[in-house]
Amino acid sequence: MRKLVVLDERWNSALTDLGVKIASVLEGKVACAVLKGFPAEKRCKELGIPTFYIEDPRKKFPLSPFLSLKKVIETFRPQVVLTIRGDEMLFSALLKKRFSFRLYRLHGEAKGIRESFLNKFLHERYVDGVILSSRKALNSVVVNLPKLFVPGAVDVEKFRFSEEGRKRVRKELKVGNELLFGVVGRLDPVKGHEVFLRALSLLKKRGLKFKAVIVGEEKNVKLSELLELCRTLSLSSDVTFIPERRKDIVDIMSAIDVGVVPSLGSEMIARVPLEFMACRRPVVVSDVGVLPEIVKEDFGIVVHPTPPSLAEGLGATFKKDLKRMGLLAEEEVREKYSLDALRSSVNSFIL
């Protein structure tokens, strides 16, 4: 069976990531339709997934992008089309009858599913099934459709605990036996770095000893602003910043004792928390997006994204059996969120 995954997202977002992972595990002859020069193209080529080019519907008059998708479908002749955004779902709906394919939609955007008349009509009339990243996405548009919940997925062969990497990175960070908290994510207000630092300040006032590392590139928050906040909170000697993409991120995650996701919003698709868990790390996460649906008491703590609540959650880890929690986290990921688990669920759903 021929299956086309339409990846028209511009960024290397969690939505792009999940779309590529689904394409990589789909059975049959699979290809992706991508925007030339954007992250999805690179990811697909790295995985050896054949690609076709479509035009960006957000940049050109809709007729040209529509015709570019029509040309891909005429060439590839898929029996199944999976889209991740509304523009291409509309285009696919207009082409469905002529080319006789089944249409699926992956929903994983923070803004949720628009309950407009057009969206309801398209889903009811043309969509054969939806993949939802979170139960929070359920609404009148998709409630009666066949559905599969996929909160996220992680390559457990790539993300796995490394004792050697742990020792090397902790030496690099000059961390001894102190508890090391870690945040991995772009420097952006929604990622909650300020909340994290203020929570650490509260822990320090309680006399608790720890270290922390923040890994992420500057986006909408400048590194200088966070460094200044550290100085204000007397945390400069306790927090290390790595403001770049590191190829040894698995080693860094292995070096961290507790992975922290202090996000203020978004997180409708889990990526970083699953990577921490795959690296045998317990997690402390905000109760936003899909995170409360993933994190269980056995291997994590869910808190409100405020400094006092986060400090309470972080403080609780000093009394936990982190090694046991890490093993349970790894077991959970391998059972429910590995690529093998994704392969089984997606291929049973997309027929």
User: Domain-by-domain residue ranges, the chain?
Assistant: 2-150, 163-336
Phi, psi of 252 (to 5 degrees): -65, -45
Query: Tens digit of pLDDT for each residue in 281-325?
Result: 999 999 999 999 999 999 999 999 999 999 999 999 999 999 999
> Does pLDDT of 188 surpass 80?
yes
Length of the chain: 351
> 127 CB contacts (<8 Å, ≥6 apart)?
89, 93, 103, 104, 105, 145
Decide whether 2-150 matches 163-336 in CATH topology.
yes
Distances (CA, A) of 120 to 115, 117, 130: 7, 5, 13
Beta bridge partners of 57: none
Query: pLDDT exceeding 90 applies to what percent of the chain?
Result: 95
- For residue 152, which of 314, 327, 283 has the smallest C-alpha distance? 283
Report d(CA 237, CA 251) in Å as an integer. Answer: 22
pLDDT of residue 266: 87
Average pLDDT estimate for 17-38: 97
Report d(CA 248, CA 273) in Å as an integer. Answer: 17
Element housing 206 (H / E): none
Question: Cα 267 to chain center, whole Å?
Answer: 7
Architecture of domain 163-336: 3-Layer(aba) Sandwich (3.40)
Element housing 139 (H / E): none
- HSE at residue 105, side-chain half, CA atoms within 13 A, is 26
Average pLDDT of the chain to the nearest whole number: 96
pLDDT-derived band at 59 (thresholds 50, 70, 90) equals confident
Element housing 54 (H / E): strand 51-54
Could you identify the residue written with the tokens 């100085």? 231
> Does pLDDT of 245 surpass 90?
no
CATH 3.40.50.2000 fits 2-150, yes or no: yes
pLDDT of residue 21: 98
> Does pLDDT of 192 surpass 80?
yes
- HSE at residue 341, side-chain half, CA atoms within 13 A, is 17
- Global pTM? 0.94
Report d(CA 202, CA 16) in Å as an integer. Answer: 37
- HSE at residue 268, side-chain half, CA atoms within 13 A, is 20
